[in-house]
Amino acid sequence: MKLNETSLPVIHIPEPPLEFSYGQTSAYPKDGLFLFGPHRKRSKTPHISIGVIGRPEGIAHFRTWAEKIKRRIEVPPPKRGEKQERLHLSNFPGIEEAFGISFDPAEIVAYEIDAKELDSATRTLNLHEAVRKAIEIYTAKVEAHTKNEERRVDVWLLILPEIVFERCKPQAKRTGLPLVKGDFGKKQAERADLPLLEDVIDQSGEEIFDDVPDFHRQAKVAFLKLNFTSQLIRETTLAPDAFLNKAGFQQRRLQDPATVGWNLATGLYYKTQPDPPWKLASARPGVAYIGLVYKILPNDPNEHACCAAQMFLAEGDGIVFRGANGPWQTGRNEFHLKPDAAKNLINQVLETYRDKHGGPPKELFIHGRTTFRDDEWAAFESAVTKETTLVGVRIRTTHGETKLFRNGDYPVLRGTAILLDEQNAYLWTTGYVPQLDTYIGPETPNPIFVSVLRSSQKTPNLKDVLGDIMGLTKINYNACNFNDGLPVTVRFADKVGDVLSMGSAKGAEKQPFKFYV
């Protein structure tokens, strides 16, 4: 696409600062944590309790890493032929030094699983049944601990061998693998559609077909229902040199150990502490953001979809609200709620906001990937009072149809925007970052396309909308990156939908965001 540079303004949205301990700010989470510590650093170091489930070898690999992240981990020197520009990498100072939390590796709650039992389960003929059996091997340990032990566990880590990723995912081929007969045949069992036959046909156990046969999704659902946060970690992540191919190279290409340490520690902090490790310092007070989520329900011939909302506040952390299931799909990748469902979903969000802040938000932004129908928007508006300005924003990725080139060694700056009019803009959320003096990416970055579609009152300033989106690219607490390419309201929509669309997730109507990642 060619743009007329004489008529379209090109602006730069400043990098949003993040707030850490003592009210100090930094644009980079690693710098802020290293210099100041987490946002709400306690005077006394909290000690967290970690539960680990895995093969004996996997648990041993994690114990080695548990000792590592209590100490400094250096970024390795560049290899021959590798680019010298590694300024986005940072030495990891240790989990207590950076995050202000600690744990005793000797006191980790560890439960070993039988490798042969896991192998047999993942070779079950029916894939749905195979995944369910694999999940139950892990969850049985948690259920037994909860029932028989008084010791509290703050977060459960599932240490997974590669067979879980090879065999427990949708359409896993398992070619050449001797399969074991289970309770079901190779194909999905047929349901009884006639109510009169419900008492005649035994459908016990067939609820497993309401779930996608994916270990990651089912694990998140299972631990959501057990009311525990969880983290899935591959054995190859913890001990890459223990898993080499025939040529003697690591089976997987991994990040450097210091970066793995930052990410593991960030996840441990976020999933065990009441507040996230950093917050947006530039967030406008009284503003809340909703990311709409839609996901087609598995095993549904009518292609009904689950709807949900992710709410994020200035504090950074989020809450997920489950809406109603229904025929929301109106076209390819187009979803629209019916009025009752739309109003009920927004009411859930506003009720929680009022409970937390004592009143309604000044502005409520709805971020989505589609437009809003008239009846749908009217229902959204009917849920808010005149004290709240409701704004609908569509955020879409682009795939090379629009490029902007910079005269220099690096591409366009992150935060660059082309304003098409008062409601539409291209925004580069990836690009050259002056603070790091580098660009983290393989090719010329693509922008996202932002459209302010509707507003219940005065249309907000487009620059404010773009600034908010830039800030929301910096609150991914599952890693310790400088930024993501998409705001958190959109980036995790598919992952949240993957969990909520599972049949076994029924009942999870409102939970903290940390349970889903």
Q: Which of 270, 287, 311 is the last residue of a domain?
A: 270
Q: Whole-angstrom Cα distance, residue 327 to residue 211? A: 19
**Mean of the pLDDT values across residues 134-147?**
98
pLDDT tier at 82 (50, 70, 90 boundaries)?
Answer: low
DSSP 25: E
Mark whether 162 and 179 lie in a shared domain: yes
pLDDT band at 228 (very low <50, low <70, confident <90, very high): very high
Is the pLDDT at 411 greater than 70, yes or no? yes
pLDDT computed for residue 507 by the predictor: 74
- Can you name the residues that pair with 319 across neighbouring β-strands? 311, 512
Residue with tokens 């924003």: 393
Cα distances (Å, whole numbers) of residue 206 to 125, 401, 504: 15, 46, 12
Regarding whether 292 and 257 lie in a shared domain, the answer is no
**What average pLDDT does range 173-180 have in this prediction?**
91
Task: Kindly tell me if the per-residue pLDDT of 115 is higher than 60.
Answer: yes
Rounded to an integer, the average pLDDT of 222-250 is: 93
CB burial string 362-379: b at 16+ within 10 A, e below: ebbbbbbbbebbeebbeb
The pTM (predicted TM-score) of the whole model is: 0.91
pLDDT average, residue stretch 146-164: 96
Is residue 195 a part of any domain in this protein?
A: yes
User: Which two tokens mark 75?
Assistant: 């970024």
**Residue 407: per-residue pLDDT:** 80
288 token code pair: 């809340």
Task: Report the distance separating Cα 89 and Cα 34, nearest Å.
Answer: 13
Mean pLDDT in residue range 212-231: 95
Mean pLDDT to the nearest integer, 478-487: 94
Judgement on whether residues 150 and 265 belong to the same structural domain of the protein: yes
Amino acid 248: pLDDT: 85
- pLDDT value for 14: 96
In the predicted structure, residue 478 carries a pLDDT above the cut 50: yes
In a domain? residue 5: no
Q: Quick check: is 81 in a domain?
A: no
**pLDDT band of 203, cuts 50, 70, 90:** very low
Mean pLDDT value of segment 436-462: 91
- Cα 341 to Cα 266, 294, 338: the distances in Å are 36, 13, 6
DSSP 492: T
352 and 288 within one domain: yes
What is the pLDDT, as a whole number, of residue 301? 66
Same domain, yes or no, for 173 and 116? yes
Q: Is residue 49 part of a domain?
A: no
**Residue 161 CB neighbour total at 10 angstroms:** 20
Q: 215 and 348 in one domain?
A: no
Residue 93, in any domain of the structure: no
Are residues 505 and 449 part of one domain? yes
pLDDT average, residue stretch 4-26? 89
Give mean pLDDT, residues 111-127: 97
Looking at the structure, do residues 358 and 260 belong to the same domain, yes or no? no
| Calpha distance 492→504 (Å, rounded) | 20
Radius of gyration of the chain (CA): 24
| Residue 190 maps to a domain | yes
The pLDDT-based confidence of 494 (bands split at 50, 70, 90) is confident
Full domain range(s) for residue 179: 105-270
Same domain, yes or no, for 127 and 170? yes
Weakest-pLDDT range from 71-80, 219-228, 297-306, 409-418: 297-306
Confidence at residue 335, expressed as pLDDT on a 0 to 100 scale: 92
Residues 352-392 have pLDDT tens digits of 999 999 999 999 999 999 999 999 999 999 999 999 999 99
Last residue of one domain, picked from the residues 237, 270, 303 = 270
Q: What is the CATH number of the domain that holds 386?
A: 3.30.420.10
CB contact at 8 A, 234 and 165: yes
Helices (H), 384-449: none
Give residue-wise pLDDT tens across range 274-308.
999 999 998 888 999 999 999 998 877 677 899 99
Residue 51: both structure tokens together: 């539960």
Cα–Cα dist 329/343, whole Å:
18
509 band by pLDDT with thresholds 50, 70 and 90: confident
The C-alpha atoms of residue 135 and residue 129 are separated, in whole angstroms, by: 10
Number of domains in the chain: 2
Asked if residue 255 is part of any domain, the answer here is yes
Segment 342-357 mean pLDDT = 95
Looking at residue 251, what is its pLDDT?
Answer: 86
CB atoms within 10 A of CB 312: 25
Q: SS3 for 210?
A: helix
Pair 333, 214 in one domain: no
Structural tokens at position 352 = 């929680």
Instruction: Say yes or no to pLDDT of 192 above 50.
Output: no
Residues 287 and 256 in one domain: no
| Closest listed residue to residue 342, CA positions, set 416, 292, 305 | 292
Judgement on whether residues 409 and 312 belong to the same structural domain of the protein: yes
How high is the pLDDT of residue 190?
A: 41
The model's pLDDT over 312-329, given as tens digits with 9 standing for 90+, comes to 987 778 999 999 899 999
Q: How confident is the model at residue 2 (pLDDT cuts 50, 70, 90)?
A: low
| Confidence check: pLDDT of 180 > 60 | yes
356 contacts 368 by C-beta, under 8 angstroms? no
End position of a domain, from candidates 270, 300, 335: 270
Q: Is 25 part of any domain?
A: no
Q: Does pLDDT of 191 surpass 60?
A: no
User: In the predicted model, what is the mean pLDDT of the chain?
Assistant: 90
pLDDT at site 231: 97
The pLDDT score that the predictor gives to residue 113 is 98
Amino acid code (one letter) for 375: D
pLDDT score, position 331: 84
Residue 204 has pLDDT above 70, yes or no: no
Q: Does residue 240 contact residue 223 with C-beta atoms inside 8 Å? A: no
Which residues, 6+ apart, have CB-to-CB distance to 208 below 8 Å?
Answer: 128, 129, 132
